[in-house]
Structure 1
Amino acid sequence: MGFFNKTKNRVRGIIPNKSSIAHSSGQNILLKMSLEVNLEIITEMLGNSTDIIIRKFRFGERRNIHAAILYTESLTDHTTFQHFVLEPLMLEVRKSDLEKYLSNQQNLFEDLKDIIAVGEVKDLNDLDTLLIGLVSGDAILLIDGYDQALSLGIRKWKERNVSEPTSQTVVRGSQEGFNENFSINTALIRRRIKNPNLRVETKSIGKISKTAVRLMYIEGIVKDKVVEEVRQRLDRIDLDAIMESGTIEELIQDKIYTPFPTVFNTERPDVATAALLEGRVAILVDGTPYVLIVPALFVHFFQSPDDYSHRSDIGTLIRMLRFLTFFIALIAPSLYVAVTTYHQEMIPTPLLISLAAQREGVPFPAFIEAMMMEITFEIIREAGVRMPRAIGPAVSIVGTLVVGTAAVDAGIVSAAMVIVVAITAISSFVFPNYNIGISVRMLRFLLMCLAGSFGLFGITVGLIALVLHLCSLRSFGIPYMTPLAPFISADIKDSIFRFTWWKLTTRPQLLNEENVVRQQQPAMAQPKPPKSKP
C-alpha cells in the first residue's frame, strides 16, 4: 500500500489528548522513531486542518531516506521554502552521500543544517514545541527512523507597514509608530539605541494562544529589582489567550481598584526609547501596536515628545498648561454646581444677576443640569469614536452644536452650563495620554455628586481623598507621585517643568541605583558668554 499509508491501528493508544497539547499541561510528549506515526499524531492533533501542508519526499543518493516537511500555508514564506529548503533537500543532497550517516543521527541532522540555507534552524524532539512552531509559521522537517525534527524559521505573513501614530500625534518629532509585529517594534527601538547593553527577553504567555511577549531594558541603567518584579508578574499570568496588551496591563498592575493607570502605554518608538534610557522596562506584545512601559508615574502621563522637540521655555509652558487643564477638566463642573447652589455670595453681583436671568426658565437644579449635559456629551463623544472615520467628527461637532443650542432654546439648560461643559470637554482633550483622560472623566462625576450634596466642603473632602489615594499608589515598587511625594528636588527639573538640556544631567533617582548620571560635563554644552571688548 506504500510507505506513507496511514495505519491507525499502529498509532492507536499513543496519540495524546488534544486538550493536553492545547493547554500545555506540562506533559513532555516525545517524537517517535517512525515518520508515519509522527505524521499520524500531528495530523490527529491538528484536526486534519486544511491549511497545514505536508510535503512528503525521498532524498539521498539512492532516494531511500523518507522525509516530510510540514508548514502552515498562510504563515510561511513560500519563496524561501521553495528555493532555500525544498530545492536543496531534493537536488543538492543528491550530490553528497548521506547514507553513511544513517547510523548516526546527530551527523545526519548537522549535515542537513549545512545544506538548508535558512538563518534559524532548531532541533526539536517533543511534540508540544513542534506544534507551537508549526502553527507559528515555521517549517518542520521530519525524517523516518529518527525521533528528532528540525524547525526552520521561514515565517512570513501580511502585516501593516510602519505608519504615523494615530492616538499620540506630535507637531514636531518622529512620525513613526509601532505596528502589530513585535519584531518590527523591537527593530524600531534597536535602531534608536545602538548599545550592546540593551537586553531583549522573550516569553510565551497564554495556554492556548501562546502569545509572544518581549521585555526590553538597558542593563546597567534599570534597577534589577524592577526587572525581576516584571518577570515574576508575567510568569504568574495563567490565561487561555492574550489578545491585546491591555490584558497584560490589567494583570500586572499594582492596584486593581483605582481610576488611575499605573502602567504606561505608547505607540511611539521615541517615547519607548526615552523610557528605556530613564531606567524603565518596555513590554512588547505580539499582535498589538501598543507597548507597555513600567514603572509609570503620575507625571509621565503629562509628558509629550513635543516638550523635548521645542525649547525648554516652550516645553515648560505647554506642560504647565496640561496640569492646569487637568484641574479644569476635573473640578470645573463641580465648582459651578457648588457655587450656584450653595455659595451665591462668592459670585459678583452683575454675574449673579446674569446667571439668575439665564436660569429663570430652567426647571432643574444645577446638579441635574450638569449631569444631563455631561452624560449627553459623553454619549456624543463615544458615538463619534465608534462611527466611521469619514463621518465621525462631523457627527460629533454637529451633534454637540445642535443639542447644545436646542437645549438652551428649549429652556432645559442654561447657556452658562453649556459653556462650562464645553470648556471641560476641550480641556480633557489636552492630555497626551488617553488613559489619564478616562480617569478624569470618571472622577468628574464623583466630584459633581459631592458638590451637589455638600457644596465646596464636599469638593474639598473629595480632593483630599484623591490626593491621599494618589500618594498610596505604587507602580512596581515606585511611589506613584514621585518626585512630588516623596519630594525629590533633583527630579523636579523634568516633571512639572522641563529644564534646559544642560540641566538634565541625571536620571530619575528612584528608577536608578548606580548609573544616575546621564550627561557628563554639561557646562561644555552651555553657550559661553561673549568676551567683553576692552
Structure 2
Amino acid sequence: MTTHRASNAANWLREKLTEQSDYEEITLGASSQIQLQYLKSVTNSNLVFQYVVVPSYEMADVEAYEAYIATFPGTGKADDLQKLIEGILEGYTLVSIGPNSYLFNSVKVESSGVGEAINEAIVQGPRDAFSENIEMNLNLIRRRYQTSELKVETMTLGSLSRTAIAIVYDQERVDSSVLQQVKDRLKRVKIDILQSAGELEKYISPHRFRIFPNMVVTERPDRVVLNLTEGKVAILMDTTGFAIIAPAVFTDFFSAMDDKIQIPLVSQFLKLIRYVGLFITLTLPGLYVTFASYNPEILKSQLVLLIAGSRAAVPYPSFMEVFFMLLMMEFLTEASLRLPKAIGPTATTVGGLILGQAATQAGLVSNIMIILVSAVAISNFVIPLSMMGYTIRVIKYIIVLTAMLFGIVGILISVVGIIMYLSDVRSFGKPYFRLTLWESKEKVGHQHGKS
C-alpha cells in the first residue's frame, strides 16, 4: 500500500466498520494527528490505554511517539487493506499517525485457563489439560519438551472464523512423509467456520466412510509430548481444549497415561484388562443370541437350562431382547451426557434401576439379559479414549446382527472381518493395526550397542 493509500486507511476502515455497535474511534494529541480505531468486543482496552493512549500524552514529540509504536513488540505496519481488516477483526488496534498506519497487538484473549483433565482422568501424574488459548497450549508443551528441535508452524483455517492452527513436531524424530501429508491435507481444507478439533480431524481424514478413528484427539499435554517423542505430529487449534495426534495405531486408543507410571507388570495387566473388556463388549451380546437361539449345544446343559428358564416368560426372540436392552442402555448413556450435571447421574441411575427391575418383573427381558447388558456397558467404559469407545458401541450391533443371521459362524465371520479390515487400514501411510509406529532413538541405540 503506497503512502497515499496508507493515509486513507483510517477512512477506509471507518467506512467498513462505522455501522458496527462495538466500533470505537479515538483521536489523541493536541494536533489530532493520532487516531485509534478498534473493535471493543475483541480488543483489550487496558492494553490500548496503558501502551498507546498514556504514552501519547507523555511524549510531546510525535516523531518519537511514532518510533515508539513502530518498534513496540507485536506491532506491524498496515501496508495491505486485507491484512488491515483481518487484524482489526482479530483484535488489533489501528494506530494512524500522520500518513502512516500501524496495527498494534491488543487482542483480547478470553479462555478458561489451565484446568484439570476431565475426559482422560489419571490416578497419578499431571492433571493439567489444554485450554482454549493456543499460546497457553504451546506453553504447556514447551515446558515439558525443552529442545530446539521442537518446531512449531502456524496457519489459519476458516474463511470466516480465521482459526489459528499450529503444527508441532520434533524435527529430528518426525517422519518427513507424514509431516508433508499433514501439511497438504490442512492446506486442502476449505471451510467457513472451524470450531473444534474433532471437526478438523474429520476434514483431514482421507477416508470419508470409516468406522475406526485414525487420529487421536486428546486433552492431555503429556500425551502429546509422549507422542512427539515417538515421531508423531501434533495439531493444536485455537478456541478448543483438544489437540490432534497423527498418525495413530490401534493400540494408542487403549493406552492410558497411567501405564507409564505404574510398575511394568501392573501396567501390562491393566492393558490386558482393557483388551478383555473390548472382547466382552463386542462379542457378549452376539454370544447370548447364539447360545439362546441357535447353538445351545456348545454350552453345558446346566447353562442352557438356566438361560432357557430365565427366558421362559419372554414373548419374543433373543435378538429382539438384546436389541431392546442395548438401545435402552444407549439412551441412558446419552441422557447422562446431555442432562445437566446436577441431575444427570441421579436421573440415569434411578432410571436404569427402575427400568431393569420393571422389565424383568413384567417378563419383557430375562434376568441374565440385565446382567449381560451391565457387563457390556461397564466393559465399554474401560477404553481410555472416548473416540474408540464410540466406535465399539456401533460395531457390537453389527456382530449381533451377524449372530442373529448365522449363529456362532456369524460371530467368527464378523471378528475375522474386523481384523482383516484393521490390517488394511493406513494412518497417513503407516500401518494402523500394529503395536507402535516408531521406536525411540534411545531404544534403537541401546539395541545397537548390545549387538
Q: Do both proteins adopt the same fold according to a TM-score greater than 0.5, normalized to the shorter chain?
A: yes
Counterpart of 2:142 (choices 190, 193, 196) is 190
Q: Offset of 1:356 from its aligned partner?
A: 1.3
Distance 1:409 1:471, change over 3 A: same
> In the alignment, which residue of structure 2 is the partner of 1:516?
441
CA distance in 1, matches of 2:74, 2:443: 37
> In the alignment, which residue of structure 1 is the partner of 2:208?
256
> In the alignment, which residue of structure 2 is the partner of 1:113?
70
- Match status 1:216 vs 2:187: no
- How many pairs were matched up? 449
List per-residue Cα deviations over 1:411-454 (Å, max 9, x = no partner).
Answer: 00101111111100000000100010111111111111110111
> In the alignment, which residue of structure 2 is the partner of 1:497?
none
- Match status 1:125 vs 2:79: yes
* 3-state SS of paired residue (1:88): helix
List per-residue Cα deviations over 1:447-493 (Å, max 9, x = no partner).
Answer: 1111011101111111122111111111111111124xxxxxxx5xx
> In the alignment, which residue of structure 2 is the partner of 1:350?
302
Distance 1:47 1:326, change over 3 A: farther
Counterpart of 1:321 (choices 270, 273, 276) is 273
CA distance in 2, matches of 1:348, 1:112: 85
* 3-state SS of paired residue (2:33): strand
* 3-state SS of paired residue (1:216): strand
Write out aligned runs for 1:41-120 (5 A): 41-46=12-17, 48-58=19-29, 63=31, 66-92=33-59, 94=60, 96=61, 98=63, 110=67, 112-114=69-71, 118-120=72-74
* 3-state SS of paired residue (1:39): helix
> In the alignment, which residue of structure 2 is the partner of 1:440?
392
Does structure 2 conserve the Cα–Cα contact (< 8 Å) formed by 1:334 and 1:451? yes
Distance 1:430 1:508, change over 3 A: same
Write out aligned runs for 1:320-399 (5 A): 320-399=272-351
- Match status 1:39 vs 2:10: yes
Distance 1:39 1:113, change over 3 A: closer
Counterpart residue identity of residue 128, structure 1: Q
CA distance in 2, matches of 1:250, 1:382: 22
Does structure 1 conserve the Cα–Cα contact (< 8 Å) formed by 2:6 and 2:79? no
CA distance in 2, matches of 1:475, 1:336: 35
* 3-state SS of paired residue (2:400): helix
Distance 1:145 1:122, change over 3 A: closer
- Match status 1:167 vs 2:119: yes
Counterpart of 2:424 (choices 437, 459, 472) is 472
Does structure 1 conserve the Cα–Cα contact (< 8 Å) formed by 2:28 and 2:56? no
> In the alignment, which residue of structure 2 is the partner of 1:103?
none
* 3-state SS of paired residue (1:292): strand
Distance 1:410 1:153, change over 3 A: same
Does structure 2 conserve the Cα–Cα contact (< 8 Å) formed by 1:34 and 1:144? no
List per-residue Cα deviations over 1:9-42 (Å, max 9, x = no partner).
Answer: xxxxxxxxxxxxxxxxxxxxx4772677433321
Name the structure with the higher helix share: 2
Distance 1:355 1:31, change over 3 A: farther
* 3-state SS of paired residue (1:70): strand
Counterpart residue identity of residue 91, structure 2: G
Q: Offset of 1:370 from its aligned partner?
A: 0.1
> In the alignment, which residue of structure 2 is the partner of 1:105?
none
RMSD of the alignment, in Å? 2.2
Counterpart of 1:138 (choices 79, 89, 92) is 92
Q: Offset of 1:202 from its aligned partner?
A: 0.8
> In the alignment, which residue of structure 1 is the partner of 2:433?
481
* 3-state SS of paired residue (1:33): helix
Return the TM-score normalized by structure 2.
Answer: 0.94
List per-residue Cα deviations over 1:96-120 (Å, max 9, x = no partner).
Answer: 4739xxxxxxxx9556424xxx421
Does structure 2 conserve the Cα–Cα contact (< 8 Å) formed by 1:31 and 1:127? no
* 3-state SS of paired residue (1:212): strand
Distance 1:130 1:350, change over 3 A: same
CA distance in 1, matches of 2:191, 2:197: 13
CA distance in 2, matches of 1:342, 1:97: 91
Does structure 2 conserve the Cα–Cα contact (< 8 Å) formed by 1:203 and 1:213? yes
CA distance in 1, matches of 2:230, 2:378: 32
Does structure 2 conserve the Cα–Cα contact (< 8 Å) formed by 1:204 and 1:213? yes
CA distance in 2, matches of 1:345, 1:410: 29
Counterpart of 2:404 (choices 442, 452, 476) is 452
- Match status 1:200 vs 2:152: yes
Does structure 1 conserve the Cα–Cα contact (< 8 Å) formed by 2:292 and 2:308? no
Counterpart of 1:283 (choices 218, 225, 235) is 235
Does structure 2 conserve the Cα–Cα contact (< 8 Å) formed by 1:254 and 1:262? no
Counterpart residue identity of residue 141, structure 1: V
Return the TM-score normalized by structure 1.
Answer: 0.80
Does structure 1 conserve the Cα–Cα contact (< 8 Å) formed by 2:114 and 2:130? yes
Distance 1:518 1:78, change over 3 A: farther
Bigger shift: 123-132 or 377-386? 123-132
State the identity as a percent.
Answer: 29
Counterpart residue identity of residue 98, structure 1: E
CA distance in 1, matches of 2:258, 2:134: 25
Does structure 2 conserve the Cα–Cα contact (< 8 Å) formed by 1:31 and 1:126? no
Counterpart residue identity of residue 122, structure 1: G
CA distance in 1, matches of 2:5, 2:191: 35
* 3-state SS of paired residue (1:140): strand
Does structure 2 conserve the Cα–Cα contact (< 8 Å) formed by 1:35 and 1:144? no
Q: What are the ranges of 5 or more consecutive residues in structure 1 without an aligned counterpart?
A: 1-29, 100-107, 484-490, 492-506, 510-514, 525-534
Counterpart residue identity of residue 310, structure 1: Q
Distance 1:219 1:35, change over 3 A: closer
Counterpart residue identity of residue 33, structure 2: H
Higher-Rg structure is 1
Does structure 2 conserve the Cα–Cα contact (< 8 Å) formed by 1:264 and 1:294? yes
Does structure 1 conserve the Cα–Cα contact (< 8 Å) formed by 2:109 and 2:133? no
List, as ranges, runs of 4+ consecutive aligned residues in structure 1 with deviation greater than 6 Å. Answer: none
Distance 1:426 1:31, change over 3 A: farther
- Match status 1:429 vs 2:381: yes
Counterpart residue identity of residue 418, structure 2: L
Q: What are the ranges of 5 or more consecutive residues in structure 2 without an aligned counterpart?
A: none
Distance 1:361 1:202, change over 3 A: same
Distance 1:174 1:112, change over 3 A: closer
List per-residue Cα deviations over 1:51-89 (Å, max 9, x = no partner).
Answer: 121112346xxx3x7231222213323222112112223
